A and B are shown apart, each in its own frame.
Chain A
Amino acid sequence: MRTQTRLKRLEKFLAGGSLNISLLSKLIILGISNAMALWALTVLLAEGHHLIFTILVIGVLLIDYIFLSERAYPLRFIFPGLFFLLLMVVFPIGFTIYVSFTNYGTGHILPKEMVIKQYTDRLMLDEDFPTYKAQIFKNPAGEFAFLLTAPTGEQLVAVDQTATPLAEAGIKPEDSDGDGKVDRLGDYKQESILNIFSFLAQLENLTFTYADRMLKLRTPETFGCYIPRYQYDPSQDALIDLQTHTTYFAKDGNFTSATGESLDIGYQTIVGWRNFQKLFTDKRYSAPFIQVFVWTFAFAFLSVLETLGLGLFLAVLLNDPKLKLRRLYRVLMVIPYAIPAFITCLVWRGLFNTEVGIINNSIFLPLFGKALPWLQDPFWAKVAILIVNLWLGFPYMMLICSGALQSIPGELYEAAMVDGANGWYRFRRITLPLLLSQLMPLLISSFAFNFNNFNVIYLVTRGRPAIPGSITPTGATDILISYTYRMAFEGGSGGDYGLASAVSLIIFMIISIITWINFKSTRALEEVPQYE
């Protein structure tokens, strides 16, 4: 039906009837984007990027379908958000799960074929062949040519990746000023040795094939004969070092010899559960990991508890209509919530500094005569983090508790009063249970939020003080997410993305469980069909 009306509209429009601007503009935009995509597709195909090519084809067809089919009409509204959600959240999650089963990381970045190519491209000097004296020439286009002279007097012209004996060469050396020395080679002019040093890196990368050998700059004035140093043997799946005659077998992401020596560059490969095994069984990893794991739960739980405690307490206090200035108080107490958290965290970091920090100098030194090692001692660093998080978090709890308090029916209290229940009893038996059951989903969300509260940890203590003996950069205040970040981006010897992703996967699973509990407690699903 709808398609028919659409067709009618199109006919009308083509017949010059009413000009349907929205349809016209839609067709134009779709046309332009399809044309652009077509152009991009030819480029991608020519460059051999088949994966991205396929993704783009599917994407473009999907967009066309969504915007032309009436059945997909609702998708037109959801599509923009869905696009970013898929690209920047769902796909990264999938990729992270994949990486957690690989050894991806510094030293294991490239796929195997590329590592093999890197090694087989390496050259070594072949001492059996002569060293040539080199004269360097350069043409106006900035390309280089060389005239090479062996100790025997044999001369070669090296240009454009190949070297040929002088007699067969296409370009001949000339002596234009007649001083008896060659100073031109075709339209290449000789470069003085002084000018060469600025091009040295470029020159060192030039190689020229000569018979079965490679000629290459050895010193700024000489050329040597080079042969490949490594050979790949597919039957053994091994790299053979032709200099030392060692065979390096490909195994678990490294090329390892029989004596256990490994080549520097490893390759990326799937390692199965090894990252998880490391985390749970290798003492050097598991000891700090378990410590971080426990502290993450403690931190999230204590954060919810303390902010809820103070927030609820204040909400009840400020709920008293007889309290003077309560409106002003409420406004003032929300301030921490309105200040960007990163600023707060950095400020507290300064205040907590042990030597020069203001907390020690204005409170602890005058009152107790000694400074507390806030950021150096594991215990006090944790206390500091919890204080900062209390400051940051209680206003939110106060706001939601105030909201929830208003919704508790007054009759409940009146009934309790008739029965002679005192204030504390009423609070404990009426307010608290009703409030908690209402707020439970928000408290669970708050727990999940703090579970991943990277900013508070990283900007206040940077996860420190360090845990002694840990092989990864791990500190006593690190929670799982900052532990992951530091493993991937702050490792002394580079990042271990595979291991970091394995920890991420563990966090995913914990959050899934929390979310599941949350759904159970809210029955969010049942609320969806509100208008059906």
Chain B
Amino acid sequence: MNKESLEFLTEVKKKPRFTPQTWSQLWKQIVIWLVLLFVFYPIVWVISAAFDPANTIVGQRIIPKNASFINFIRLFDSELQPFTSWLLNTFKVSLTSSFLGVCITALAGYAFSRMRFRGRKTGLFAILLIQMFPQMLALVAIYLIIFWIGHYLPYFGLDTHAGLTLVYLGGAMGVNVWMTKNYFDTIPHSLEESAKIDGATPFQLFVKIILPLTRPILVVVFFLQFMANYSEYVLARVLLATNENLTMAVGLQTFIQDQISQRWGVFSAAALIGAVPVLIMFWVLQNHLVSGLTRGAVK
């Protein structure tokens, strides 16, 4: 770091070419390009492998010979891996659990933000404390609970997506409740007051007034939960068993585990397909997310 890096805080002056400032801009550009090289290194190789018909990591070149879509066809067509099911399962579980998760969080956040009751502070504190413990630490217990539930309600038992969704919903509260509560706090009470006079119940206030106004934070919470569930590996690994029922994280892990060299191309195609929807989602929601993150950060 040198003097010029913070120069923007002083007045900008016109200077001749090749001053120390130009040099400083130059090295900054170089450093940034080095970082970009690091960022894109795995991405470029995966894209290249996905389109390389050789389907092997051995002797892979950065620009594939006879590039084609054959790996994508192999991915969806092969008997070896039910990739379509994995993809659908992942979306089914992550979308359901993040949607229900947002409902749960918004309801709780509303109560914590607008109502005064005994145990409110303790409750908020307890939620923050509990969510520090990742669910996977209690894996054996969770496995047994789902086993018991499945004994009575087979639809929610082991090797079912409903069961996995139940488990994911356990992790829905936590920091998200705080984020929504803090956001709800910024909405002025005056809007609700007038509706209250007209005889609206708190639940109607919540649905008709608060929810539409707080969409940005709900979107952020939804996306964060979606990302977490989409990438979740351990719980899905332990609770799901049948190959057709797996999520992408578990399926791809077992697919690539010991056969990196023979399945590299097909795996890369799967990796691209798995990453692109989330990337697009991130792109669309980027402004929301970044402001949500930094706001939460600096608070």
Contacts and interface: CB of A to CB of B under 8 A. Distances in A.
B145 A91 contact: yes
B242 to A, nearest CB: 17
Contacts of B264: 350
B230 A350 contact: no
Contacts of B249: 340, 342
A338 B32 contact: no
Contacts of A481: 134, 136-137
Given A323-B25, A424-B1, A497 B233 contact: no
Interface stretch (B64-72, B74-82, B118-126, B212-220): B118-126
Contacts of A65: none
A181 interface: no
Interface string A311-346: 000101111111110000101111111111111101
B137 to A, nearest CB: 5
Contact of B260 (A316, A353, A410, A531): A353
Contact of B133 (A89, A322, A331, A334): A89
Contacts of A319: 8
Interface string A1-29: 00000000000000000000010000000
B295 to A, nearest CB: 7
Interface string A338-366: 11111110111111010111100110000
A504 interface: yes
B275 A400 contact: no
Interface centre among A78, A332, A342, A356 (most CB of B within 10 A): A78
B190 interface: no
A403 B294 contact: yes
B294 A341 contact: no
A497 B32 CA distance: 48
A89 B173 CA distance: 10
A402 interface: yes
Contacts of B201: 22
A340 B279 CA distance: 9
A273 interface: no
Nearest to A339: B275
Interface of A: 22, 40, 52, 73-75, 77-78, 80-82, 84-85, 87-93, 95-96, 99, 104, 310, 314, 316-324, 329, 331-344, 346-351, 353, 355-358, 361-362, 391, 396, 399-400, 402-404, 407, 410, 413-414, 417, 422-424, 426-427, 438-439, 442, 448, 452, 454-455, 458-459, 481, 484-485, 488-489, 497, 500-501, 504, 507-508, 511-512, 514-515, 524-525, 528-532
Given A95-B141, A342-B253, A343-B275, A78 B123 contact: yes
A504 B139 CA distance: 10
Given A88-B166, A93-B138, A95-B144, A77 B25 contact: no
B298 interface: yes
B53 interface: no
15 contacts: A52-B152, A88-B135, A95-B141, A96-B137, A316-B5, A336-B39, A347-B46, A350-B57, A351-B45, A358-B45, A423-B5, A485-B139, A514-B132, A515-B129, A525-B121
Contact of A511 (B120, B133, B173, B282): B133
Given A340-B274, A403-B298, A528-B121, A391 B39 contact: yes
Given A339-B279, A458-B233, A358 B297 contact: no
Contacts of A323: 25, 28-29
Contact of A85 (B5, B36, B173, B202): B173
A530 B185 contact: yes
A143 B25 CA distance: 89
A315 B3 CA distance: 16
Contact of A410 (B9, B103, B137, B144): B9
B211 interface: no
Main secondary structure of the interface of A (DSSP, over half): helix
Sorted nearest first, the 5 A-B pairs with minimum C-beta distance are A88-B170, A403-B294, A92-B138, A77-B111, A423-B3
Nearest to B4: A423
Interface string B1-34: 1111111111010000000010001001101100
A344 to B, nearest CB: 7
Interface in B205-236: 206, 227, 230-231, 233-234
A74 B111 contact: yes
Nearest to B280: A338
B2 A314 contact: no
A407 B260 contact: no
B195 interface: no
B162 interface: no
B5 A317 contact: yes
Interface residues of B, number: 113
Given A489-B238, A524-B128, A317 B57 contact: no
Contact of A356 (B12, B58, B108, B238): B58
B63 interface: no
Nearest to A412: B9
Interface in B71-130: 103-105, 107-108, 110-113, 115-117, 120-121, 123-125, 127-130
A82 B103 CA distance: 13
A346 B267 contact: yes
B278 A346 contact: no
Nearest to B293: A399
A233 B194 CA distance: 77
B243 interface: no
A338 B145 contact: no
A78 B1 contact: no
Contacts of A329: 32, 36
Contacts of B57: 350, 353, 356-358
Given A336-B39, A347-B46, A403-B293, A342 B3 contact: no
Interface in B244-295: 248-249, 252-253, 256, 260-261, 264, 267-268, 271, 274-275, 278-279, 282-283, 286, 290, 293-295
